[in-house]
Structure 1
Amino acid sequence: MSQCLLWLGLTLLGVLQTQVHGSGSDLIPLPPLDLVPVQAEFREDLFQGKWYIIALAGNAVQKKLGSINMFTTTYHLTEGHSYNVTNTLIRDNQTCSYWTRAFVPVSQPAEFTMGNIENFPHIKNYLMRVTATDYNHFAIMFFKKTAKMQNKETDYFKTSLYGRTKDLPVKLKERFIQFANMLGLTNDHVLYPVPTDHFCIDN
């Protein structure tokens, strides 16, 4: 549990944890980005606010690492059409941990890059894309980062299912799994954070 939570927190920060990720040679390769949809007519104002992470999957995610507590991510829209994104997690000692990053828009709507990437010297690029959302209930996200360790660049990617509430209908979870499978991921790469009533994520 603690190792999985540590990996998750570091991933949210965009920092590599080599004990968990390994060398990268055994990772599922990054799918072509033109296969990853982008939400049409994206409404940046409606997307902001708090989302619960209902499920996540990625080429560096390993179900065998164990379960994790549900966490949240909150998007705050700035005047420059960027988002300040704060992730709130529960540590093993039941204290709250917060990580905030800036994501700035790129040429197409619903796509962003990390704005404070200079704070993470091993990260060469970090892309976030809203692939689908209805703003009020769910969103399916895609993240890609390229990291350089020991003069070797490795592509990591993940997808997350967001919910405005702590649970979503089965059909949305199935839609998420289908999307993860389309990216080349299997059920062994999918985690379902355990819902909790902890004040960290309910405030």
Structure 2
Amino acid sequence: MAAVRMLWMGLVLLGLLGFPQTPAQDLDPVQPNFQQDKFLGRWYSAGLASNSSWFREKKAEMSMCRTVVAPSTDGGLNLTSTFLRKKQCETKTMLLQPMAVSGHYTYHSPHWGSKHIVSVVETNYNEYALLFSRGTKGRGQDFRMATLYSRTQTVKNELKEKFINFSNAQGLTEEDIVFLPQPDMCIQE
């Protein structure tokens, strides 16, 4: 009987103090009923926003890249991006591993040695997608990045405005945002 009383006391204390935070409670919202198969295919990175000092220093040099989203063997996504760097086309692939909630993925950055949670916050699948990434970089530095993907290289002003509002809602300011120009090469078919 004492064990049952202790169990109930423990449950009452957890209720009063709040349950311990789990990673699922810290996740950003995602597109309702996210359908990964509709998200696959070619996208263009039309806008970026980040609180990273490296990003702020380099954003004037950045340009639009083409990203092909394909399913990975573990149920996640391979994002293969082709972009212009030092007047050469480069291709890199990121593996987004699936989480328990559809539309949430984890990404391990080999360059920074950090782990990020990537969320597909909003998409209509055939025109645009808003993604948000968060994690830590270096010595515990908070890292946040918003991305505007477009199915075409030309982005409507309404989508640019939507991206600015979305970025601001994530705590990113006007100086953190860039709309990427189309380079002369690398993003063509």
- 1:155-200 per-residue CA deviation (whole Å, 9 max, x = no partner) reads 21100100000122211111110011111111111111111342x2
SS at match of 2:164: helix
TM-score normalized by the length of structure 2: 0.78
**1:1-203 pair list within 5 angstroms:** 33=26, 36-60=28-52, 61-62=55-56, 66-93=60-87, 95-114=88-107, 117=108, 120=110, 122-148=112-138, 152-198=139-185, 200-203=186-189
- 1:14-50 per-residue CA deviation (whole Å, 9 max, x = no partner) reads xxxxxxxxxxxxxxxxxx956x431111111110111
2:188 is aligned with what amino acid?
Answer: D
Cα gap change, 1:197 to 1:126, in 2 (>3 Å): same
Structure 2: distance between partners of 1:190 and 1:53: 13
State whether residues 67 and 193 of structure 1, in contact with CA within 8 Å, keep that contact through their aligned partners in structure 2: no
Q: Unpaired runs of 5+ in structure 2? A: 1-24
SS at match of 2:48: strand
State whether residues 48 and 147 of structure 2, in contact with CA within 8 Å, keep that contact through their aligned partners in structure 1: yes
Number of equivalences: 163
Q: Unpaired runs of 5+ in structure 1? A: 1-31
Identity of aligned residues (%): 29
Cα gap change, 1:189 to 1:156, in 2 (>3 Å): same
Structure 2: distance between partners of 1:140 and 1:132: 5
SS at match of 1:40: coil
Cα gap change, 1:33 to 1:73, in 2 (>3 Å): farther
TM-score normalized by the length of structure 1: 0.73
- 1:114-136 per-residue CA deviation (whole Å, 9 max, x = no partner) reads 2xx3x727433211110000110
1:50 is aligned with what amino acid?
Answer: R
**Misfit runs of 4+, over 4 Å:** none
Structure 1 residue 147 displacement after superposition: 2.3
State whether residues 52 and 71 of structure 1, in contact with CA within 8 Å, keep that contact through their aligned partners in structure 2: yes
Structure 1 residue 78 displacement after superposition: 2.8
| Residue equivalent to 2:9 | none
Higher Rg of the two aligned structures: 2
